[in-house]
A and B are shown apart, each in its own frame.
Chain A
């Protein structure tokens, strides 16, 4: 009996871990001025995309109701004004939204209960009109992100498809030359276990493959004979701790294309906690990318990026850490010994490269996406809606 009680007590004593509290992210040296807020409280807000004076925000998961709405905002004034909402049928989460570079189309990704992309005409940006819903067996069970980019003059959507029971995650590339009749031009299973996002620029495709890191592909600009319908792998790097979620290939004001920023999406609980660093990968040799630096924020984790390439400022959505602005000018791989981690990477925070954060004095926030447009930083906040912030002065 006593031995049994000892056995039981030992197990209970060993176990009572608690994670009811988390480290609060520290403030940055400066603040991003809060200019205005557009409130959404009946749904959780997802991604943001802004063109001109119109912003589009998606919605996520069930709150009062499902995340089946795209909110349309007039952001010409200080406070974003809700002007309309699109309701997408047969969707519970709209994870991604993007306006094409010519401003003619709006593309929205849907997840759960049949993945798809919704393609709208923006002949009136405040009143998008549905052109078609593109869905196939390969877009099930959901399109996690839809990156719309032009390659050699032709418009494509790069769809990251969620894994399903026994079916691995995959990338599907769709030709949007005729938006009323999108054509699939490529698909391949990739990611371990997810492919969460891609970045396309200069005929190079970079895929964020979770624990497989990032892979660079020639899709027409890499000089290895690759094309959109036949991507040729150039290089791969597994970033520290994996969970590679998103990428931004930074072209600085001098035309240098040395660094890709990779977001690591660690475990989080919406509104409460998040984890994951920004990893800086030297891609000057596309065939041999390697990680040289990172940015870590205690108590918070990163999500999507927007980069002011002219000024060399990375704006990172940092969930419960708000928006973080980081100086990414110059050589990010050069730092003193005290600014390096044990594995030799430079710590951007220790290098004093953190510039500002926002929205200042507001808590709680849970920032999903961020975009710099027209001198303002727009941030989508899962808990609160959309913020219009000032950029780093």
Chain B
């Protein structure tokens, strides 16, 4: 016999939750601003306070089979971005911005077997033109130079999961992108760092972008939230755990399936910035009302090392993907979906190898040719299923080879996905940890 419990409608309860979250953010903001020495630490010149950079990757990708036993070869201008970082007053006011022109260069999406999201499947979707525009204000305290509080507001990353794949070694994205990051949202984030511990809490809009020119829906602001705890025990390593509640990400008008997301990771990078490793687990459960429907898990390990001008990288990923009904364009799915069902769920195991060489690697310009080879194995996890990968692709094993080159100008290659005191710099004066030659 069923038992019915009178659970209040989550959407009706939203205003109270929002008020609570905003109060918390206001407290953090006030603490940050009031504690600051107003404008007393202006950088020596405006020029020093502004970093501007740009990059683009030209790449040709061959996938076998891409669909229906058919191979495909395509070329792209991928990740064409311009970024700016302005910090005139020693973190009192920091602006971070990134324009992404993939909407113009990647409208059809980039072949990337297994990836999905925002109406694309097996092609990576273009990101929005205004990829990131946030302002932060931070106040450091304590002798270690890293402890402090900060507040961040703007369009960017919610405090959840790991760094954006754009700032990691590979050109091809891992297919867990929509499980492991929440981005391109209007965010309000408060952060506290105490020694090796970093705590972040943020509110944002749940709706995903629906096109490169899309902007977050105003009536969805602050309907979702996330929190992240990071522990930095020593300069070379960090541990991260985070949780998010995202309302109706795939239906911009609301009413679609909600998501509860979890992430945990360990990240290492040597002090010389010549070696890096990331171990990541993430999980997203979909909810219809208060009832869980489907869960999608991902494990990912990746490492990168550099010797002189040569670098190599290895990524192993095992991710479950929702398979949604495709349109007459087999690389697209309906946005929003017409209900809360899926055609099936598939498990992707992908091994990706990368080799690259820095032909030019000056302080301001990087020219780095690369090759990436990936082998994916895919199988349905539900039987019977409305999506049989072997039937659809023509094989359960898919190869992908990409050859290209990255050209970057004055890119700081910063970590992407953290703001204010949540950027895990090690101590005063070290700056953000970054990896030369990585993007």
Are B239 and A64 in contact, CB atoms less than 8 angstroms apart? no
Question: Is A11 in the interface zone, CB < 8 Å from B?
Answer: yes
User: Once the chains are docked, how many angstroms separate the CA of A364 from the CA of B385?
Assistant: 10
Give every chain B residue within 8 A of A4 (Cβ-Cβ).
231, 233, 237-239, 266
Task: Give which listed residue, B229, B286, B386, B391, contacts A267 with CB less than 8 A.
Answer: B286
Known: A165-B335, A272-B382. A8 touches B239 (CB 8 A): yes
Are B295 and A342 in contact, CB atoms less than 8 angstroms apart? no
Task: Give which listed residue, B210, B231, B329, B344, contacts A113 with CB less than 8 A.
Answer: B329
The residue in chain A whose Cβ has the minimal distance to the Cβ of B342 is: A269
Tally chain B residues at the interface, Cβ within 8 Å: 69
B263-316 interface (Cβ within 8 A of A): 263-266, 281, 283, 285-286, 288-289, 291-295, 297
Q: Closest approach, in angstroms, between the C-beta of B244 and any C-beta of chain A?
A: 12
Q: Closest approach, in angstroms, between the C-beta of B221 and any C-beta of chain A?
A: 16
Are A343 and B293 in contact, CB atoms less than 8 angstroms apart? no
B255, B264, B340, B382, most chain A CB atoms within 10 A: B255
User: Once the chains are docked, how many angstroms separate the CA of A20 from the CA of B296?
Assistant: 11
User: Once the chains are docked, how many angstroms separate the CA of A383 from the CA of B239?
Assistant: 46
User: Once the chains are docked, how many angstroms separate the CA of A333 from the CA of B342?
Assistant: 34
Of the listed stretches B3-11, B90-98, B400-408, name the one at the interface; the rest are far from the partner chain: B3-11
Known: A1-B233, A11-B263, A272-B344. A347 touches B328 (CB 8 A): no
Question: Is A91 in the interface zone, CB < 8 Å from B?
Answer: yes
Question: Is B1 in the interface zone, CB < 8 Å from A?
Answer: yes
Query: Can you list, as one digit per residue, whether each of B68-93 has a CB less than 8 Å from chain A (1) or not (0)?
Result: 00000000000000000000000000
Give every chain B residue within 8 A of A62 (Cβ-Cβ).
325-326, 330, 392
Of the listed stretches A100-108, A188-196, A249-257, A304-312, name the one at the interface; the rest are far from the partner chain: A188-196
User: Once the chains are docked, how many angstroms separate the CA of A350 from the CA of B3?
Assistant: 13
Are B386 and A61 in contact, CB atoms less than 8 angstroms apart? yes
Question: Is B41 in the interface zone, CB < 8 Å from A?
Answer: no
Are A112 and B391 in contact, CB atoms less than 8 angstroms apart? no
User: Once the chains are docked, how many angstroms separate the CA of A258 from the CA of B335?
Assistant: 38
Tally chain A residues at the interface, Cβ within 8 Å: 71
Query: How many inter-chain residue pairs (CB < 8 Å) link A and B?
Result: 189
Are B382 and A273 in contact, CB atoms less than 8 angstroms apart? yes
User: Once the chains are docked, how many angstroms separate the CA of A129 from the CA of B140?
Assistant: 76
Q: Closest approach, in angstroms, between the C-beta of B249 and any C-beta of chain A?
A: 13
Task: Give which listed residue, B326, B328, B345, contacts A90 with CB less than 8 A.
Answer: B328
B313-340 interface (Cβ within 8 A of A): 325-330, 334-336, 338-340
Q: Closest approach, in angstroms, between the C-beta of A138 and any C-beta of chain B?
A: 16
Question: Is B51 in the interface zone, CB < 8 Å from A?
Answer: no
Q: Closest approach, in angstroms, between the C-beta of B370 and any C-beta of chain A?
A: 31
User: Once the chains are docked, how many angstroms separate the CA of A66 from the CA of B329?
Assistant: 10
The residue in chain A whose Cβ has the minimal distance to the Cβ of B283 is: A15
User: Once the chains are docked, how many angstroms separate the CA of A271 from the CA of B388?
Assistant: 11
Are B328 and A92 in contact, CB atoms less than 8 angstroms apart? yes
User: Once the chains are docked, how many angstroms separate the CA of A335 from the CA of B260?
Assistant: 39
Give every chain A residue within 8 A of B262 (Cβ-Cβ).
11, 14-15
User: Once the chains are docked, how many angstroms separate the CA of A278 from the CA of B273?
Assistant: 61
Are B241 and A267 in contact, CB atoms less than 8 angstroms apart? no
Are B264 and A11 in contact, CB atoms less than 8 angstroms apart? yes
Question: Is B167 in the interface zone, CB < 8 Å from A?
Answer: no
Question: Is A163 in the interface zone, CB < 8 Å from B?
Answer: yes
Query: Can you list, as one digit per residue, whether each of A156-191 has a CB less than 8 Å from chain B (1) or not (0)?
Result: 000000111110100000000000000000000000
Are A267 and B294 in contact, CB atoms less than 8 angstroms apart? yes
User: Once the chains are docked, how many angstroms separate the CA of A66 from the CA of B332?
Assistant: 13
B338-368 interface (Cβ within 8 A of A): 338-345
The residue in chain B whose Cβ has the minimal distance to the Cβ of A270 is: B386
Q: Closest approach, in angstroms, between the C-beta of A35 and any C-beta of chain B?
A: 23
Closest 5 CB pairs of A and B: A270-B386, A4-B239, A271-B384, A267-B293, A11-B264
Task: Using CB atoms and an 8 Å cutoff, list the residues of chain A in contact with chain B.
Answer: 1, 3-5, 7-8, 10-12, 14-20, 44, 60-64, 66, 90-93, 111-113, 141-142, 144, 162-166, 168, 192-194, 196, 210-211, 240-243, 245, 265-275, 296, 341-343, 347, 350, 364, 366, 382-383
User: Beyond A267-B257, A341-B1: 14 further Cβ-contacts under 8 Å?
Assistant: A11-B281, A62-B326, A92-B328, A165-B252, A194-B255, A242-B289, A265-B341, A269-B342, A269-B385, A270-B342, A270-B387, A272-B382, A272-B385, A341-B2
19 A-B residue contacts at CB 8 Å?
Answer: A4-B266, A8-B265, A11-B264, A16-B297, A17-B283, A17-B285, A20-B381, A62-B325, A62-B326, A90-B328, A111-B334, A112-B327, A113-B328, A142-B334, A163-B251, A164-B335, A166-B210, A274-B341, A342-B4
